[in-house]
Structure 1
Amino acid sequence: MLYIWAILCVLGLAIGQILFKVSAAALAASGTLFTFRALAALFSAMLLYAITSVAWVWILQKIELGRVYPVMALAFVLVPIGSHIVFGERFSTQYFVGISLIMLGIAVASRS
């Protein structure tokens, strides 16, 4: 069950990264951070990071860091997937090879 919470933390961090990018895009479009979209995305990302950080500390009370930390590598998979969905970013074949290696590494590390 703790690993499910850890995955939820990583998912929250990945969504936070997407929200940071939304904020940056709104800033670039308007030239100011003081628009509703930019501030809402920025504060949402910061709130999500705060919540997931507290949850991560709770998880670390229950399980060794070395055993759960490989789950954090899922962010390298989730953030680009989110950027593709939200921003339409495209990736090369090399990227997918790299993601496959990361997933393999997570599987190997989590079994140790």
Structure 2
Amino acid sequence: MPPLIIFSTIICVFGISIGQMLFKKAALVLPTSPTWHDWIFNGWLVAAVLLYGATTLAWVWILRNAPLHLAYPFMGLAFLIVPLLAWTLLGEPLHWRTLAGGALILSGVVLASTS
């Protein structure tokens, strides 16, 4: 894949990963019995949906310019990025198994994205 497509794909994966952090923050601020008002005016949720929308448009552009079998393995990187972001930003635990699995996924992405 051309460098611009690889860069765009990685940015897309980071966008999806950050979106997951925003969804988590949205969930944390919801009251126990949320009303429609709590959902609609949840700024974290609105930000997450907007980011996911923009990322989806970027993903469609990427797929217009790259074969799915080369672009899609990059989405696996989210399985490493999301736990790292959750550990860094939310103070969630990070286990060695997560890092080992992430290393395997990273190896798979490299293997699948080379010709």
TM-score of the superposed pair, with normalisation by structure 1: 0.89
Deviation at 1:91? Answer: 2.1
Whether 1:7 aligns to 2:3 is no
Gaps in structure 1 of 5+ consecutive residues = none
Q: Contact 2:14/2:81 (CA < 8 Å) preserved in 1?
A: yes
- Counterpart in 2 of 1:53? 56
Whether 1:18 aligns to 2:18 is no
Task: Write out per-residue CA displacement over residues 9-64 of structure 1, whole angstroms, 9 at most, x where no aligned residue.
Answer: 1111101000000000111xx3336459x710000000000001011101111111
Distance in 1, matches of 2:16 and 2:87, equals 16
- Counterpart in 2 of 1:68? 71
TM-score of the superposed pair, with normalisation by structure 2: 0.87
- Counterpart in 2 of 1:106? 109
Deviation at 1:97? Answer: 1.2
Distance in 1, matches of 2:78 and 2:96, equals 19
More helix by share: 1
Q: Which runs of 4+ in 1 moved over 6 A?
A: none
Gaps in structure 2 of 5+ consecutive residues = none
